[in-house]
Amino acid sequence: MHSIEPFFNWRDAYIASEDVRSPFFGRKYSEFYFSHKLYNYYLHPQWDEFGSTTLYGKALFVDYIDGFALIELLGEWNDTLHNDIMFLKRRLIDPMLKEGITKFVFFCENVLNFHGAEEDYYEEWSEEVLEESGWIVLINIRKHVEEEMVDYRLQRYMHFGEDYNDIIWRPHKPLLVFQLIDALVNGMIKRLD
């Protein structure tokens, strides 16, 4: 796991630790010192922690004018034991909402498992973004993760599933990725192939 780095090709356009409006502003990173762990596995030091011991993220790009954030996740999304949604919501999402971010794209290729619990934080988050014509999208989630999320009825609060899987996003610029996801959410296109 220590070799899985957050996507870094958009660093010329955005660096969360240099953004005064970011929850990660001022963070210092090491290329050599590994401090974050997922169970017994060290993680690459470029991942950001936000309170969870099993789920980590990286704000890859934030646009305050268009009100969107592109965030990559890594780990196990475990609401049952660790209440990861609470940490994600309170320490990452809430500060972004206060800055006018209402459209959230999460790249979830590296979310290895999901264990659900209560829906309260999802419902609150969904209501907050919908008030501002926003949305929440999970891109490229693994099949077993998707099945678990469906079991907990998270499709009521987020967009994910077949239309949002197998999307090749890395070669594209962040604004294009956002525009394509926005068009998909709003039914302007059917599927990104």
> What's the pLDDT tens digit per position in 89-143?
999 999 999 999 999 999 999 999 999 998 999 999 999 999 999 999 999 999 9
> What's the pLDDT tens digit per position in 135-182?
999 999 999 999 999 999 999 999 999 999 999 999 999 999 999 999
> What's the pLDDT tens digit per position in 177-193?
999 999 999 988 776 55
All residues at 6 or more sequence positions from 163 whose CB lies less than 8 Å from its CB, including other chains: 184, 190, 191, 192
CATH of the domain at 124: 3.30.750.24
Count of structural domains, the chain:
1
Q: Does residue 97 lie in a domain region?
A: yes
Q: Does residue 146 lie in a domain region?
A: yes
pLDDT of residue 106: 98
Q: CA-CA distance, 164 to 187, in Å (whole number)?
A: 12
Residue 34 has pLDDT above 80, yes or no: no
- H-state helical runs in 6-151: 79-82, 84-87, 94-98, 120-130, 143-151
Q: Does residue 44 lie in a domain region?
A: no
Give me the residue label for tokens 């899985």: 4
Give me the residue label for tokens 């660790």: 82
pLDDT of residue 3: 64
Best CA proximity match to 163, nearest among 133, 132, 188, 130: 188
Q: Does residue 98 lie in a domain region?
A: yes
Spell 116-136 as b/e; 16+ CB within 10 A means b: bbebebbeebbebbeeeebbb
pTM of the full predicted structure?
Answer: 0.94
Q: Does residue 4 lie in a domain region?
A: no
Q: Which domain holds residue 131?
A: 50-185
Q: Does residue 173 lie in a domain region?
A: yes
Q: Does residue 191 lie in a domain region?
A: no
Sign of CA dihedral 62, 155, 140, 49: positive
